[in-house]
Amino acid sequence: MKTSGYCRLRADELRMTDEMREGWLSLSIDYSDLPADEYLPGGGKYRFRRYGRFSFSPESGALSRLPHEDYYQSPDINQVTGGFVRKFAPLLDTTFENPFLRELIRFDFSQFPLDAALPAGAWEVHAHLIRVKANESEPGEPTPEGIHRDGAEYVIVHLAELANAGGGDVSIYDDDRNLLSTFRLEQVMDCYLFHDASLWHEAASIYPLAPAHEAIRSILTFDFHPPARRSGD
């Protein structure tokens, strides 16, 4: 990742304790009760999500819950739903305290080749639980549609669920939007991580492999925002 700005990790590279496995099972249940995303183009009904914020200290590994706030992305990085405030439901209280979620944030952060120029201090971590559905009449679009940035320093996306779904291929682009790689997450907890500040990415829509049944693709995404630079840095 240090030279390319991105990499992939397989699910079997995650080492989970029994407590973490129980935490993952608890977290996976949350996906069946996510509120609808009300900001889809054309009034679509295919995406569901929750979102929450943590403060993370790399030095101690401490994670603390931050107050919920509305979500905003610049239209420069998100041409579909950027430029206006979106209101998403917060993560459940049990999700904020989930030991698997917390340990995964720590593990993910340890994978990043941090720039020595980044200021020391607590990072802000945005956690997103997102489920996309598709049927014969409506494909399921990822979040957000098209080539975009998330507006963070680093981002990691874990596959949380995949059922009867074709498509969903992930593409990574350089700063000039030249295609670098295309791949597909196949197993639950397969993931990719990238330097969002210098790369672009997108995921293709999903569709049902068996047309009589809906397709589902869920992800767990963390956006890592570094401490604010002091004036003059």
Going from N- to C-terminal start, the domains of the chain cover: 6-225
Confidence band (pLDDT; 50, 70, 90) for 159?
A: very high
Look at 117 and 210; give whichever has higher pLDDT: 210
CA pair distance 82, 39, nearest whole angstrom: 10
Most confident of 11-20, 109-118, 138-147, 190-199: 190-199
Contact between residue 225 and residue 186 where contact means Cβ atoms under 8 Å apart: no
Average pLDDT of the segment spanning 5-21: 87
Q: How high is the pLDDT of residue 17?
A: 82
Q: How high is the pLDDT of residue 144?
A: 64
CA pair distance 200, 202, nearest whole angstrom: 7
Angle at 73 between CA 67 and CA 123, to 5 degrees: 45
Q: How high is the pLDDT of residue 231?
A: 33
Look at 41 and 22; give whichever has higher pLDDT: 22
Confidence band (pLDDT; 50, 70, 90) for 198?
A: very high
CA pair distance 21, 69, nearest whole angstrom: 30
| Torsion angles phi and psi, residue 170, rounded to 5 | -100, 135
pTM of structure: 0.91
Q: How high is the pLDDT of residue 230?
A: 35
**CATH number attached to the domain at 6-225:** 2.60.120.620
